[in-house]
Amino acid sequence: EEQAGLERFNALIAEDSRIEPRDWMPEAYRKTLTRQISQHAHSEIIGMQPEANWITRAPSLKRKAILIAKVQDEAGHGLYLYSAAETLGTPRDVLNEQLLSGKAKYSSIFNYPARSWADMGAIGWLVDGAAIANQVPLCRASYGPYGRAMVRICKEESFHQRQGFEILLELAHGTEAQKTMAQDAINRFYAPSLMMFGPPDTDSPNSQQSMEWKIKRFSNDELRQRFVGMIAEQVKVLGLTLPDPELRFDEEAGQWLHKDLDWDEFKAVIAGNGPCNAQRLERRREAHENGAWVREAAAAYAAKKAQKAQV
């Protein structure tokens, strides 16, 4: 039976069809998808923090309303991603426990502080921009529930990116101090946003298998280069610069080349030693504890309803 399952799985992958939750799949496929989807979900949830930090200090009612909506969208993305991950068999409580215990990774980018209002612009433009560049190809991921979740998430991220760009555009046309604040935010978020695509291809243990399984469609470096080419053009509209004197389009290779990134810093951040790792996890644990009564109430209500239905 396993042999038949494997043959069918291989055939579905070869013809670019989708694997669905009830289909037979290799354990390693299940495992790597659970890893990637749950890390992605954790990133959305932890990623709410840097921006939530600015909700009370947004410069106008309109900006506040927009920022609240964006942070709420991120919670929604986390929820559908946890649901997609659960279809692979690991319950959400277990996934959550992996996050709270520090065992599971989440995106390196959310371990950097959001210091100024301009950071809300840089996060929207660069962080959501990188997220889109990485996630549009994931809409075609071979695992059905993941690909379908990505479609809606990408639509919402596109709106997030536009709102970030618009914040920066307004600051760039503001006072000297506002322009400086916008440039400073870009300077700090540039390299960390390039690191969101993961380690270089030569140092990416999961890539080859994930490409063979059509979970990933492009390599980490390919997507990073595509992204840097996009922002190299967009930054001109802002009248600002990217902190990368080496950035250029290589005619021969037909691609954008950027400066070397500090991969030691990346490794330190994903090992838990970035500027905000401890704070982010502490805040998440606190929020989880404070939410216990909501989970208990929901469970009690569900039990009561089930009991009534039996009578």
**x/- track of binding to ligand FAQ for residues 123-152 (CB under 6 A):** x---xx--x--x------------------
- Report the SS3 class of residue 237: helix
**Structure tokens that stand for 310 in this block:** 């039996």
Of the two residues 76 and 291, which places its CB atom closer to ligand FAQ in the complex? 76
Vertex 144: Cα angle to 140 and 147 (nearest 5): 40
Give yes or no for residue 82 binding ligand FAQ (CB under 6 A): no
Q: Answer yes or no: are the C-beta atoms of 38 and 85 closer than 8 Å.
A: yes
CA distances from 175 to 72, 171, 180, 252, 303 (A): 31, 7, 9, 41, 58
Residue 38 makes contact with ligand FAQ by CB under 6 A: no
Name the one range near ligand FAQ by CB under 6 A: 3-11, 32-40, 58-66, 239-247: 32-40
Structure tokens at 296: 């208990």
| 61-86 helix and 92-100 helix, angle to the nearest 10 degrees | 120
Both structure tokens of 46 = 């932890």
- Compute the least distance from the CB of residue 91 to ligand FAQ, in Å: 19
Which 207-266 positions form the footprint of ligand FAQ (CB under 6 A)? 207, 210, 220
Per CB under 6 A, 164 contacts ligand FAQ: no
Q: Are 124 and 186 in contact (CB under 8 A)?
A: no
Binding mask 271-310 for ligand FAQ (x = CB under 6 A): ----------------------------------------
Stretch that binds ligand FAQ, among 7-15, 93-101, 102-110, 240-248 (CB under 6 A): 102-110
The residue among 12 and 131 lying less far from ligand FAQ, judged by its C-beta, is: 131
Instruction: Copy the structure tokens of residue 309.
Output: 């239905």
To ligand FAQ, the closest distance from the beta carbon of 88 in angstroms equals: 15
Task: Identify whether the C-beta of residue 232 lies closer than 8 Å to the C-beta of residue 242.
Answer: yes
Using the minimum distance from each CB to ligand FAQ, give the nearer residue, 179 or 261: 261
Calpha distance 108→106 (Å, rounded): 6
Q: Which is nearer to ligand FAQ, 179 or 227 (CB)?
A: 227
Cβ pair 75, 44 in contact under 8 A: yes
DSSP state of 246: T
Q: Which is nearer to ligand FAQ, 39 or 96 (CB)?
A: 39
* CA–CA distance, 298 with 309 (Å, rounded to integer): 16
Only one of the segments 10-18, 84-92, 100-108, 287-295 lies at the binding site for ligand FAQ (rule: CB under 6 A); that segment is 100-108
Strands (E) across the chain are located at: 248-250, 255-257
| Binding of residue 84 to ligand FAQ (CB under 6 A) | no
Measured from the CB atom, the residue of 36 and 90 that comes closer to ligand FAQ is 36
Per CB under 6 A, residues contacting ligand FAQ are: 35-36, 39-40, 43-44, 47, 74, 105, 107-108, 123, 127-128, 131, 134, 195-199, 204-207, 210, 220, 270
